[in-house]
Amino acid sequence: MKNNFKTIAVMTSGGDAPGMNAAIRAVVRTAIVKGINVLAINGGYEGMIDGNFSEMNAESVGNIIHKGGTIIYTSRSERFRKPSWRKVAHEQLQKNNIDAVIIIGGNGSFAGAATFTSEFKIPFIGIPKTIDNDVFGTDYAIGFDTAINTALDALDKIRDTANSHHRLFFVEVMGRDLGFLALYSGIAAGAEAILVPEIKTNMEDLIALLEKGWQRKKNSMIVVVAEGAVKGGVMNIAEQVKMKFNHFDIRVSILGHIQRGGNPSCFDRVLASQLGNHSIQALLKGKKNVVIGMKNNKISYTSFAEASSYKHTVDQNMLQMANELTK
């Protein structure tokens, strides 16, 4: 493979997700092996606009594969939405002699990259990361596996206290408008019900399901709620249930941003390493303006236009299975 790249940049953008550092490490070390210099763009698109660049080497990415967050920081940039600021960002890339950019991000970041690469010639390669797992073109995004295991650990601990006090817990997990986190963690925790945006919540059905559990003399119950599943949020649905089902002491737990942090799982570290390594290989093969994903355990390429226009959706068979297992 002919190497026409002297210097590339790597950046992280949007919300943080466990495994981003592992991806940065793979990008930097693979590029160095291929004879390519690497600069970090610190702070996402905001850092690109401000010219916040720093040199990276093998030592700078040592001892980071196990760390959550991102060592080169991230942001959500309103300025980058404006053509004038994108022009400034492009000038900063030219000033630093950047031949290509590896962006570790999600749907919003890739939408920005799609617009930018339509205006300027510099090639971008995207690496998908999001705990929501909604990036189109990959079965799993970096961070999702760690997030569901974080949620599962919390659910297991909540089950312990629920059993001790005969409580019904409503536990809200993240995921925006998709139910991946709720579905996977809820199935693994043996939740009595899982409420996701993909299926409209029917209060009568939920009450009937809880009553059935009461008749079976359950000591505790857990209902996992995706943050976008119910209008008014988890507090609203807990109040509605409390008025009609008072056999248990009802409590609400919102896991929140704890799901974004922590050491990445083995799966996320390996996935991040694979995608980071292949991002450099893709550049050398002439690929540009694509997101590198993993579909059916094989590397896949999806254009920024597609990745930013569509979303990875929950498997209907998984939804059906979850429904049957909570009966």
Catalytic residues: 132
End-to-end CA distance of the chain: 56
Token pair listed for 16: 């943080």
169-171-174 Cα angle (round to 5): 175
Round to whole Å and give the CA distance between 38 and 23. Answer: 14
Burial class (CB in 10 A: 0-12, 13-18, 19+), 248: buried
Token pair listed for 204: 């009568």
Provide the CB-side half-sphere exposure for 118 (13 A, CA): 10
Please give, one letter per residue, the 3-state secondary structure of the chain. CCCCCCEEEEEECCCCCCCHHHHHHHHHHHHHHCCCEEEEECCHHHHHHHCCEEEECCHHHCCCCCCCCCCCCCCCCCHHHCHHHHHHHHHHHHHCCCCEEEEEECHHHHHHHHHHHHHCCCCEEEEEECCCCCECCCCCCECHHHHHHHHHHHHHHHHHHHHHHCEEEEEEECCCCCCHHHHHHHHHHCCCEEECCCCCCCHHHHHHHHHHHHHCCCCCEEEEEECCCCCCHHHHHHHHHHHHCCCCEEEEEECHHHHCCCCCCHHHHHHHHHHHHHHHHHHHCCCCCEEEEEECCEEEEEEHHHHHHCECCCCHHHHHHHHHHCC
